[in-house]
Amino acid sequence: MSTLFSLENKIAVITGGGSGIGRAIAELFALQGAVVCIVELNASSAEEVITKINSSKGTAEAFSCNVASQTEVSKVFDTIANKYKHIDVLVNCAGIAHIGKLDTTTEADFEKIFNVNVKGVYNAMFGAIGFMKKQQQGVILNLASVASSVGIPDRFAYSMSKGAVVTMTLSVAKDYIKEGIRCNCISPARVHTPFVDGFLKANYPGQEPEMFEKLSKTQPIGRMAEPKEIAQLALYLCSDEASFITGTDYPIDGGFIRLNN
């Protein structure tokens, strides 16, 4: 374990830690010494990650939970706090995607996105904030998206949800700064996760390589990010080395926002 960006003896709760970006963050945080608590709807995915972490001499535990349910989330945070006596880091990675414009987004679609991507983040922060206030310290990191900053075709509900994540982040950072709580968010562009592969297989059967290349080139840097690259930024922002940083949205986008002219 490197002493730089160490999370030794810290309790880190990661929603959506069973796959994609959340999994990469969970594995890296464990490598840096954190006790990782994965909050995940997909119990089998979470078990796979904690088995890998624990077999590598890390420490991880899984909690099956639907982040859209405040009752479930509150129970999980109470369990974690009772067991470990403190909660130092919360990373909100749980989220779902949706493709559609305003007039092709049904009310059910909109509510589903809102319940997971917005209410889920609210529920987790609500579950953690009381413990962090008592401790007079804590770090919250939320996963937003470049979709919160620029218009992306056919992403109406998804963009709405990620815009809400950014503004919730700023509000929490402002309201709890005197309690020693930092709150930031990360806005990735496209990241090569299993979700991308599944999306291409479902929507472009037989054309996966061509479409993957097309999506990759929407980033000026010419490729998608890897989950570990997002995890490395997350590690910095949740470490003591970032103790002067709060209330900030960090794009990690291969130039997508500024260089796509």
pLDDT at 202: 84
Q: Which residues pair with 91 in a beta bridge?
A: 14, 141
pLDDT at 246: 98
| Structural domain includes residue 207 | yes
- Please check whether residues 161 and 143 belong to one and the same domain: yes
What is the domain count for the chain?
A: 2
| Structural domain includes residue 259 | no
Catalytic position from the list 84, 122, 158, 204: 158
- Please check whether residues 202 and 129 belong to one and the same domain: no
Closest to 25 measured CA to CA, from 237, 252, 241: 237
pLDDT at 3: 84
User: How crowded is residue 84: how many other Cβ atoms within 10 Å of its Cβ?
Assistant: 16
Look-up of token digits 């088995």: 51
The secondary structure of the chain in percent helix, strand, coil, rounded to multiples of 5, reads 50, 15, 30
| Structural domain includes residue 82 | yes
Rounded to the nearest 5 degrees, what angle is found at the Cα of 147, between the Cα atoms of 167 and 226? 110
- Please check whether residues 131 and 173 belong to one and the same domain: yes
| Structural domain includes residue 3 | no
- Please check whether residues 198 and 120 belong to one and the same domain: no
User: Which 8-state DSSP code applies to residue 224?
Assistant: P
- Please check whether residues 107 and 181 belong to one and the same domain: yes
Helix (H, G, I), strand (E, B) or coil at 154: coil
| Structural domain includes residue 6 | no
- Please check whether residues 181 and 195 belong to one and the same domain: no
| Structural domain includes residue 258 | no
pLDDT at 203: 81
- Please check whether residues 112 and 22 belong to one and the same domain: yes
pLDDT at 194: 86
With 0-12 CB in 10 A as exposed, 13-18 as middle and 19+ as buried, what is 8? Answer: exposed
**What end-to-end distance do the CA atoms of the chain give, in Å?**
42
Strand order in the sheet with 138-143: 59-64, 35-40, 11-15, 89-92, 138-143, 181-188, 249-252
Quote the domain boundaries for residue 217.
Answer: 191-224
- Please check whether residues 196 and 231 belong to one and the same domain: no
- Please check whether residues 18 and 128 belong to one and the same domain: yes
- Which residues in the chain land under pLDDT 50? none
| Structural domain includes residue 35 | yes
Using alpha carbons, list the distances in angstroms from residue 208 to 2, 99, 225. 39, 18, 18
**105-121 pLDDT per residue, tens:** 999 999 999 999 999 99
Using alpha carbons, list the distances in angstroms from residue 18 to 40, 41, 42, 229. 6, 9, 7, 17
With 0-12 CB in 10 A as exposed, 13-18 as middle and 19+ as buried, what is 212? Answer: middle
- Please check whether residues 63 and 107 belong to one and the same domain: yes
Does residue 158 have an active-site annotation?
Answer: yes
Which CATH number fits the domain that encloses residue 40?
A: 3.40.50.720
pLDDT at 205: 92
User: How crowded is residue 78: how many other Cβ atoms within 10 Å of its Cβ?
Assistant: 13
Distance CA 34, CA 5 (A): 11
- Please check whether residues 212 and 121 belong to one and the same domain: no
pLDDT at 261: 66
Look-up of token digits 């998804």: 158
- Please check whether residues 20 and 30 belong to one and the same domain: yes
pLDDT at 238: 98
| Structural domain includes residue 100 | yes
CB 5 within 8 A of CB 235: yes
* pTM score: 0.95
